[in-house]
Amino acid sequence: MAKIDTLRRLLLIVNKLDGGNKYVHSSELLAYVEQNMRIRNGTAPYSLRTIQRDIKDIDDLFGIVIKHKKDAGYYITEREQASPEKYEELLYNFDILAALDAESGLSNYVLAEHHRPTGSTNLIQLMDAIRTNYHVEFDYTLFRHDNKIQHKRVAPHFLKESQQRWYLLAIDEGKLKLFSVDRISNLSCLTEDLFKRDKSIDVENLFKDSFGIWNQEDIPVENVVLSYDALDGKFLKTVPLHHSQTILTDTENEFRIKIHLRITNDFVMELLSRSRSLTVIEPLSLRKQIHDVYTNAIKRNS
């Protein structure tokens, strides 16, 4: 339990310092961590000395450098290939798990989804290989080729979660490729086989024009204009379809948006999941694609 509490504190510190203010006074940081830890397990008072130890651990574990400016407070100076959004998401996911901790008492009130992203059993080993720059070997199942098995030896660089699945981004034969972790088996970490990390990979922009994990450069980036009724619009305002979403019309009769991305199969499936009032304005090719899906579905279910 002590190790879990330590990790909670580290994530809370990062979350607080990644907030709207550049500097956070030590008393404010102390109060924030104390309050959140007390909610979880009634922990003892948090001290300035503990903060200083935790800050060193944050640097060691996350590559985040935190310093203190006199009369201003603590602030983040450097991040190792990180962004605030990533650590806020990390903290959010960790809090959901913490809420289910029997000792926290919150499991009686927090109803989380009963699922784990598929392939999560290999995550710890893959994270360690990424952190230490070890090559990994595994067997990979190709669903689109009658479950054919390919043996792979790759240089792992990143992990990405999308739609309850984890994906490994790795250099395979000189190219950056994506592997669904749930299709990886017989994973082994080659501790004697180090690789040099490719720091030129712009992971922040890698999926900028895509929905989910598909980044097929042969598919053009297009403007997509979609129209919904006002009810669906309320949901799309709180959870946008894509980071590029802009609102064109927001009235009691129509909610119209524009997004800019590659029209992949994942994106089409997402549109179908909220299509009660959907009208595709443009492009016409997407409109036809949605039409064909429903036409075929009617034939199958008539």
The whole-number pLDDT of residue 302 equals 86
Q: Which is more confidently placed, 248 or 207?
A: 248
Instruction: Count Cα neighbours of 143 within 13 Å in the Cβ-side half-sphere.
Output: 6
Contacts of 165 (CB under 8 A, 6+ apart): 117, 118, 119, 180, 181, 182
The whole-number pLDDT of residue 100 equals 46
Location of structure tokens 């991305």: 261
Location of structure tokens 């970490």: 189
Model confidence pLDDT, tens digit, residues 198-241: 988 887 788 888 887 766 778 899 999 999 999 999 999 999 99
Query: Do 221-301 and 120-200 have the same topology in CATH?
Result: no
Model confidence pLDDT, tens digit, residues 24-64: 898 888 888 887 777 666 556 678 888 888 888 888 777 78
Q: Of all residues in the chain, what percent are helix, strand and coil, respectively (each to 5)?
A: 40, 30, 30
Which CATH number describes the domain made up of 2-108?
Answer: 1.10.10
Share of the chain above pLDDT 70, in %: 80
The whole-number pLDDT of residue 230 equals 96
Domain ranges of the chain: 2-108, 120-200, 221-301
Query: From 3.30.70, 3.30.310, 2.30.30, 1.10.357, which CATH number describes the 120-200 domain?
Result: 2.30.30
Q: For all residues of the chain together, what is the average pLDDT?
A: 82
CATH architecture of 221-301: 2-Layer Sandwich (3.30)
For the ranges 48-57, 253-262, 292-301, which has the lowest average pLDDT?
Answer: 48-57
